[in-house]
Amino acid sequence: MKNFLLIGTILFMHNADASWWDMSPETVREKINQRVMSIEAPVPAVASVEDWTLRREGRTTPIRIYKPNDQSNLPVILFIHGGAWVAGNLNTHDNLARYLCSGSQAVVVSVGYTNSPEGKFPLPLEQCYDALLWSVEELNGMKIAVAGDSAGGNMAAALCLMARDRAGPKIALQVLINPAPDLTCQGTIARQNDSLDMLRWQAFQYLSDPKEANNPYVSPLRAPDLSGLPPAMVVLAEKDDLREAGEDFAKRLQAAGVPTQIYCQLGINHLAGDGARASFKAQESLKVAVAALREIF
């Protein structure tokens, strides 16, 4: 596996020299969320926004539903937010959900899965699957796509694997924005004081057992079989150290016969908070994502 530092996630922090291992998950979460919300960006207009609480299989999950207009049978995007698994929520990624809704003219269902370490794998992913089933059953959309950024890109890819393996809903497109498709961290998620330690910290929060890092639903890049998955739009950032893993995943999808497009925005790091807020800096990549969604719909 190629080393990467998650530079974009470092930029979430007020002090890039601070080690996440020396802070509580609650402190990291607060810093990330505050950083995201401090980024000024326009708020895309949508027709309506409604908060729901989804209850399924003993799990409770908040979701937020965005509609571009009052038409029925619109296509649907299930959106899974990023934030290093420990952070991010319906509010931090409100602008991005609105942007996808407005740009693609589709209903967006944003999933407020339980952050780690309170929500250990597979709970957050199962909550996303619950939301996928609910969206198909309740919204009667023409087609459904899944989209996610960073950690959300990881879970969007994993969700497509899960839907395939469970003979679940047919997903029209997976949009992976700066995804993190591999949490194996060269064989350990214990602290090593090396370049992978930030990712190790995230995996440590998300997983109950280090061996779970090899689970395809945790590290989709390591799945033995990627055939039969939905077409993919993989959006990367040139200076993001997640880029190579994202490229590797896209190439494996192509090798498995999955129609896959790759786009790399030049000159930028991991979009992180700028992506969440749909800032002007992020809009080149987001326009590509929206174009892929409009084409498939």
Cite the active site residues. 150, 240, 270
Q: Tell me the C-alpha distance between 9 and 87, whole Å.
A: 11
Q: Tell me the C-alpha distance between 235 and 250, whole Å.
A: 10
Phi-psi region of 125 (alpha: psi -120 to 50; beta: other; left: phi over 0): alpha
Tokens of 18: 């601070």
**H helix count then E strand count, the chain:** 9, 8
The burial of 178, by beta-carbon neighbours within 10 Å (0-12 exposed, 13-18 middle, 19 or more buried), is given as buried
Tokens of 64: 């937020």
Distances (CA, A) of 258 to 59, 62, 172, 173, 234: 32, 32, 12, 11, 12
